Amino acid sequence: MDSSTLRRSAAAACLAATLLAAPHALRAQAAAPVVAAASDLQFAVQEIAAAFKAETGMDVRLSMGSTGNFVRQIREGAPFEIFMAADETYVLDLHRDGFAKDEGDLYAVGRLALMVPHGSSLAADGTLGSLAAALSAGKISRFAIANPAHAPYGQRAREALRRKGLWDKLQSHIVLGENVSQAAQFALSGNAQGGIIAYSLALAPSVRSRGTYELIPEDLHEPLRQRMALLRKAGPVAESFYAYMKGPKAREIMKRYGVTLPGE
């Protein structure tokens, strides 16, 4: 057999091996369940998913966004297998209507923080007193929160602003993020004096380095009781990740990002 024939044979063998391997690779990729997670979890759940893969060899795909938008997608047939909501009422409603296997589990109670970029005229005062003073002095041009229409963190931010008598005064200055992660981007963009974001995002190194923050008192808004559930079509890998979320490693990571854990 001459060298050109050998090269053709080797190429054919490689092609055959690739074609044989491709379906297996595609199946393996498709088997990774999609987790729909509220965007306040952006950094925490990435760490948890990486730890889960390191310990089990199993992979999950993460889709981060606003809780309300995810509910709409789930009702329209989106192929999510786990839903991690920023407000438990959304999960309970999905279970009532047959989209979740059960009522799920409370996995965290979130907190709000006022965050301002370095150099802002606004102080990071969680009582919102500095925001009131800055508004009166005409020093606020833009202030970011998540969209209350579908983001629980935006809903709670609106509650806090209303209880301090600031909501109506801020209307012309508010910039709405599609979710609380985008609200954090807007708050720290340099085009805004600050915003109300998730404490869990403020604690992330990549966010914390860009500004200063302070917790907003819990009595200024209703609790952010965050619940997760396995959805109707959840498979074995999703069930394993769901169980992992309730285990010690995941709880340690969540605690590091400033959320209150069930039972603590």
pTM: 0.86
Backbone angles phi, psi at 60, to 5 degrees: -125, 150
Q: What is d(CA 199, CA 141) in angstroms, rounded to the nearest whole number?
A: 23
pLDDT score, position 42? 93
SS3 of residue 59 by DSSP: coil
Q: What is d(CA 37, CA 107) in angstroms, rounded to the nearest whole number?
A: 12
pLDDT score, position 262? 83
Backbone angles phi, psi at 9, to 5 degrees: -65, -40
Token couple for 53: 């893969």
Residue type, 205: P
* Strand 34-38 to 105-110 pairing: unpaired
Q: What is d(CA 98, CA 110) in angstroms, rounded to the nearest whole number?
A: 26
Q: pLDDT tens digits, residue range 29-50?
A: 457 999 999 999 999 999 999 9
Residues making up the chain, counted from first to last: 264
Please give the domain boundaries of the chain with CATH numbers for all domains.
Answer: 11-109+224-256 (3.40.190.10), 110-220 (3.40.190.10)
For a pLDDT cut of 70, what percent of the chain falls above it? 89
Residue type, 248: P
Q: pLDDT tens digits, residue range 203-218?
A: 999 999 999 999 999 9
Neighbour tally for 118: CB within 10 Å: 10
| DSSP letter for each residue of 147-194 | -TTT-HHHHHHHHHHHHTT-HHHHGGGEEEESSHHHHHHHHTSSSSSE
pLDDT score, position 31? 76
Residue type, 13: A
Identify whether the C-beta of residue 152 lies closer than 8 Å to the C-beta of residue 67: yes
Eight-state DSSP code of residue 263: T
Q: pLDDT tens digits, residue range 139-174?
A: 999 999 999 999 999 999 999 999 999 999 999 999
